[in-house]
Structure 1
Amino acid sequence: MIGLVISGHLNFATGMQSAMCAIAGQQSKVEFVDFVESMSTEELEVQLRAARDKVESGSGVLFLTDIPGGSPCNRAMNIMMDTPNVELLAGVNLPMIANAAFEREDTTLVELVETLQEIGVSCLQNMRKELEASMKAEPILCEEGGL
């Protein structure tokens, strides 16, 4: 099973933890690391490395962070660069995190990254355009000729 480490600014990680648990249930091999105001970036990296060690089971570790180029992302990138079988996605959202929990058992780390990227892109929707498109759609006729 691929281990997951979710990190972000302030309470991003613990907020995602409560949401993910509501959607996917309690998960093993998942750690959540908040980067709070009282923490230095060095302390953050120490906590991220400890989290990586807790979730590693031989199938790899995927870091999921909030902002590309932010401190959680940058410190996870340090770990990715010096640790084999570690990947990092930044700019993640709840659908990506929840699906990571569901999809991580019967896949490779590279395949999981690709799947989550597709989910992230597909989840970003302009709902006004979606609504307008659905209202313009042709009604579907039943076999008896009714709607």
Structure 2
Amino acid sequence: MTKIILASHHTMASGLKDTLNYIFPSDLEIADISAYLNNTPIEEELAAVIDPVDPADEILIFTDMPGGSVCQACAPYILKRPNTHLFAGMNLPLVLTLALQAQSGALDEAGIETAIAEARSQIVYVNASFSASDDDEEDE
């Protein structure tokens, strides 16, 4: 079984989970941790979600930004648990793609790298696209 954990500063994780459940209702176990909204240390919130998971099960942890305190709190789990994958800079295309791979049982390193590349390609400065199309129209 695969468990997905979305962890962020404030409520980004819960919002992404809500959106993910709307687009992709699945049987995957998805947890969200919205850090620093109460007085519970992030390490305790993570332990409450991760410790009950069977060590043989796969865990995908998505955090909001690399180098941030949430990602740093998650990092020790990739050393403690062999089937744990940590991703920083989560966005909907990345989480959705990897959730689909996990649900189909096709999650592997090549698929993960492809999903990351595809998620990066979804970040687009739309203004530049409009400028390019305006330039093309002027050339005609």
Q: TM-score range by the shorter chain?
A: 0.7 to 0.9
Could you list the runs of 4 or more consecutive aligned residues of structure 1 that deviate by over 3 angstroms after TM superposition?
A: 53-59, 132-135
What residue is the counterpart of 1:5 in the other structure?
5
Q: Secondary structure at the match of 1:25?
A: coil
2:106 maps to amino acid: T
Runs of 5+ in structure 1 lacking a partner? 138-147
User: For residues 108 and 36 of structure 1, do their structure 2 counterparts lie closer, same or farther at Cα, with a shift above 3 Å needed?
Assistant: same
Residues 36-93 of structure 1 deviation map (CA, whole Å, 9 limit, x = unaligned)? 24335xx322222332345558452111000111121011101112221111110111
2:118 corresponds in structure 1 to 119
> Would you say how many aligned residue pairs link Structure 1 and Structure 2?
135
Q: TM-score, normalised by structure 1?
A: 0.77
Once the two structures are TM-superposed, the CA of residue 35 in structure 1 deviates from its matched residue by 0.2
TM-score, normalization: structure 2?
0.80
State the percentage of identical aligned residues.
24
- For the pair 1:34 / 2:34, whether they are aligned, the reply is yes
Is the 8 Å Cα contact of residues 89 and 113 (structure 1) preserved in structure 2?
no
| TM alignment of 1:1-147, pairs within 5 A | 1-40=1-40, 43-53=41-51, 58-104=56-102, 105-134=104-133, 136=136
Larger Rg: 1
Q: How far apart, CA to CA, are the structure 2 residues paired with 1:127 and 1:117? A: 20
